[in-house]
Amino acid sequence: MKDVKEYAVRCFKDEAQAILDLIPMLDDNFSKAVDLVYNCKGKLIVTGVGKSGHVGEKIAATLASLGTPSFFLNPLDAYHGDLGMIAEGDVVMAISYSGNTDELLRFIPLLIDRKIPIIGVSSNPSSLLGQYSTCHLNIKVDHEADPLNLAPTSSTTTTIAMGDALACALVHLRNFKPNDFAQFHPGGSLGKMLLSTVKNFMVSDNLPIVSKKDKVSDTIIQISKTKQGIAVVIEDEKIVGVVTDGDVRRAMQSKQDSFFHLEVKDIMSTTPKTINENTKLNVAGDMMRKYNIHSLIVVNNDQRFVGIIDSFSCL
């Protein structure tokens, strides 16, 4: 039996080449499309039928997550009341690989009558869609990755790539930042990192606290109270140091004879890294990576010890 991986490799190469072939076809129409969306006072409505519709849904979702108010509208639904979703100030992106999809073309006159700008996306600038579009984006491919050259494969890939290119250009023009992205993704890991504060994820109960005069052997119990592997040394309600499980192990190895007589002050670090409880979680993660440590001591605005945050909480 032939190694089926070679079919995957051929598909990857065909689709990658199809995307690269878009580069020479980029012209002023792309700049016009970006300008239309950038200056749009309303929404971007993406529309298409069949596979073009599925791709259009993805493009609309990508643009929406990157700061462009957009949604997908099936042109068939427009004939049954959904045309009311489109208003003055909106822009429509209409996708049809042939540029002559009947269901889509019947929708176009309604847009022209309402003076709605149209970004046409097809393989044929001379198609009816191309002719009636305010600007046209060419997504032509030499052949589909499908061995039969029938199923939309390379063509859907180029369409997605064109939508992504539009989204990327708008990100740069709008100076869209990770914090902006997180506003649209509060439930994801990025949203967690950029919107949550240390206070939301720190350990604040049953905190491991020791004094400088405590025996190191007894401190092991305190360190084991939490999963952070650390105990905080407090004197007069102030943080004066920390003892980690690593400090204890090193003391056991280097001072075996006197280990059970050692006090916390003999092995503690006097320069612990602290972070305010209201600091964003991503900043805590950056600090731990910078100093190559696994935990940070959390303080409130009065510099009082209120918790511990570890690197696992910042993943």
Task: Classify the C-alpha dihedral 263-269-271-277 as positive or negative.
Answer: negative
Judge if 77 and 159 occupy the same domain. Answer: yes
Note the pLDDT of residue 25: 95
Residue type, 232: V
Whether the per-residue pLDDT at 204 is higher than 70: the answer is yes
- Whether residue 145 sits in one domain with residue 81: yes
Assigned token pair, 82: 């959904």
Over residues 125-144, the mean pLDDT reads 95
Classified as helix, coil or strand, 183 is helix
Does 188 fall in a domain? Answer: no
- CB contact at 8 A, 94 and 120: yes
In a domain, 193, yes or no: no
Segment 244-270 mean pLDDT = 86
Spatial CA neighbour of 125 closest among 99, 96, 161: 99
Looking at the fold, whether 82 and 151 belong to one and the same domain comes out as: yes
107 and 222 co-located in one domain = no
As given in the structure block, the two tokens for residue 190 are: 């990025």
With a CB cutoff of 8 Å and minimum separation 6, the contacts of 281 are 192, 193, 194, 196, 197, 198, 200, 201, 313, 314
The single-letter DSSP state of residue 259 is: G
At position 309, the amino acid (one-letter code) is I
Separation between Cα atoms, residue 296 and residue 282, nearest integer Å: 13
For 89-123, the pLDDT digits (tens) are 999 999 999 999 988 898 888 889 889 999 999 99
Question: Looking at 124, 144, 176, which one is the last position of a domain?
Answer: 176
Question: Is residue 217 in a domain?
Answer: yes
Residues 307, 166 share a domain = no
Q: Cα separation of 90 and 158, whole Å?
A: 25
Torsion 74-77-79-83 (CA) sign: negative
CATH code, domain with 103: 3.40.50.10490
Tokens of residue 39, six digits: 């200056």
> Could you list the residue range(s) of the whole structural domain that residue 53 is in?
5-176
Q: What confidence tens digit (pLDDT) does each residue in 37-49 have?
A: 999 999 999 999 9
Asked whether the CA dihedral 221, 223, 227, 229 is positive or negative, the reply is negative
CATH number at residue 251: 3.10.580.10
What pLDDT score does 188 carry?
52
- Burial group, residue 158, by CB count within 10 angstroms (0-12, 13-18, 19+): buried
In a domain, 190, yes or no: no
Helix, strand, coil % over all residues of the chain, rounded to 5 = 45, 20, 35
Q: Do 242 and 293 contact (CB within 8 A), yes or no? A: no
According to the model, what pLDDT value does residue 220 have?
A: 85
Clarify whether residues 286 and 153 are in a common domain: no
Where residue 298 falls among pLDDT bands split at 50, 70, 90?
very high
Residue bearing the bigger pLDDT, 6 or 179: 6
Phi, psi torsion values for 286, nearest 5 degrees = -60, -40
Q: Is residue 73 part of a domain?
A: yes
Q: Based on the domain organization, do 11 and 140 belong to the same domain? A: yes
Q: In what order do the strands lie in the sheet with 44-48?
A: 70-72, 44-48, 91-95, 118-122, 135-138
**Pair 220, 247: CB distance under 8 Å:** no
**Which residue type does 263 have?**
E
Residues 37, 136, single domain; the answer is: yes
Residue 187 lies in a domain: no
| Averaged pLDDT for residues 282-288 | 85
Number of domains comprising the chain:
2
Residue at 44: amino acid letter: L
Alpha carbon separation from 115 to 55, 120, 126, 134 (Å, rounded): 25, 15, 21, 10
Give the highest mean pLDDT range of 28-37, 239-248, 261-270: 28-37
**What pLDDT is recorded for position 193?**
54
> Quick one: pLDDT at residue 76?
80
Supply φ then ψ for residue 306, to 5 degrees: -125, -10
- Same domain, yes or no, for 141 and 279? no
Mark whether 146 and 209 lie in a shared domain: no
* pLDDT score of 20 more than 90: yes
The mean-pLDDT minimum among 116-120, 140-144, 184-188 falls in 184-188
Residue whose C-alpha is closest to residue 8's, from 195, 152, 153: 153
Crossing angle of helices 154-174/5-20, nearest 10°?
50
Q: Examine the domain organization and report whether 19 and 164 are in the same domain.
A: yes
pLDDT recorded at residue 56: 95
- Residue 216 belongs to some domain of the structure: yes
Is the residue at 65 inside a domain? yes
